[in-house]
Amino acid sequence: MSTVILDELLAYVGFEAADAERLRALHPALQPHFAAIAERFYEALWANPRAAAVLSGPEQTERLRLTLIEWMSSGLLGPHDERFYEKRSRIGRRHVQIGLPQHYMFTAMSVLRIAYHDRIVELYAPDAVAPVLGSVDKLLDVELAIMVGHYQIDSEQKLVSRERRIQADRLAAMQTLTAGLAHEVRNPLNAAKLQLELLERRLRRTSSDPRLLEPGELAQKELERLTLLLNEFLAFARPPELHVDDHDVTLIVRQVAELERLAAERRGAELVVAACPVQLVANIDAPKVHQILLNLVRNAIEAVSAGGLVTLALDGNDDRVRLCVEDDGPGIPEDVRPRIYEPFFSTKEGGTGLGMSIVHSLVSLHGGTIDLDTGPRGTRFDISIPRRAARFTGVRT
């Protein structure tokens, strides 16, 4: 990916082999002036209070001055390859980390550009100046584009984090409301079930007419259905604490696949485990991970038509476990995507709209993340959870 970006930048500014050759030839002439250019650069930096505020003192400035000299040297000498790109990327990331405002990147590069131009005009004959200045400008434009790109990445990440915080707050409010409502409903529901059972016993003692018992049996079944729905509400509203231990995640994946394979066959679809290590042990709450996978797989099976395919995959490293559930259905409609984790929102007839909310909640309990990729060719959910139990009490997405 990095080489693709670099190649695009070099092509965009028209950086060619002749430019690289001019820069290499410039290096020995400009190298004796690197220290003076670096001194000029940091004088300009210290003259601006807001820019200077990101520096901790003279020792850091000296380290950065030496880094700047090496940066100038490597920029002229090249090669302008992946290593060149990665080094500039590290500088860009560092500027973001220390909180250097983005506009100082442009002004700082302008200081260097002017210093380069001044020296080149002194060093070269008038008829040779223009091509060298052009090559330097191309190089510095590419350097700036690479480093500033990390401000865009940081901005996008902050936007995503903001959206996730909003979603977390919305879920927390809905969980509080649901918990209170479920609590208020449970007491009269239990009382109604008890009274109905007493009524049924009395009827059985006084009459054998099945027509008197049928309405009571029907009401009993509806109350049982309402109880199950209430329990699902409570599972969303008050997710239980994690009870973690070392478990084989591979075994959980294969168990879910076996449980749901028949449901896929009934739909004329295929459910396969595409990639899975022989064993992958992680410190997790196994029943909750099982429920996460089960909900996602059931949704995927319902999304495909006859001849469709649902795929499970598992991999991981020393830090994280990654689970994937993918289907080749029609994808999630664009207007539905922002609401898939929203409680009580469902596109299924008779659905409670809590399945994905519960998935979201259980992933969050593990300190994990859930990512969605959907389109006309299918939908893919990627779950990432720490391999060792995360000490986390909030909500993430």
Same domain, 190 and 334: no
Same domain, 27 and 134: yes
pTM: 0.49
Rounded Cα distance between 261 and 124, Å, is: 76
Confidence (pLDDT) at 254: 94
Rounded Cα distance between 335 and 393, Å, is: 31
The answer to whether position 84 is within a domain reads yes
DSSP per-residue letters across 281-334: EEEE-HHHHHHHHHHHHHHHHHH--TT-EEEEEEEE-SSEEEEEEEE-SS---T
Confidence (pLDDT) at 10: 86
The answer on pLDDT for 393 being more than 50 is no
The answer to whether position 397 is within a domain reads no
Same domain, 22 and 127: yes
| Structural domains in the chain (count) | 3
Confidence (pLDDT) at 394: 40
Q: Which domain holds residue 143?
A: 2-160
Same domain, 22 and 155: yes
Same domain, 134 and 98: yes
272 or 88, greater pLDDT: 272
- The band of 396, judged by pLDDT with boundaries at 50, 70 and 90, is very low
Confidence (pLDDT) at 74: 87
Same domain, 200 and 336: no
Is there a contact between 367 and 386 (Cβ–Cβ < 8 Å)? yes
The answer to whether position 105 is within a domain reads yes
Share the mean pLDDT of the chain.
Answer: 81
Same domain, 68 and 193: no
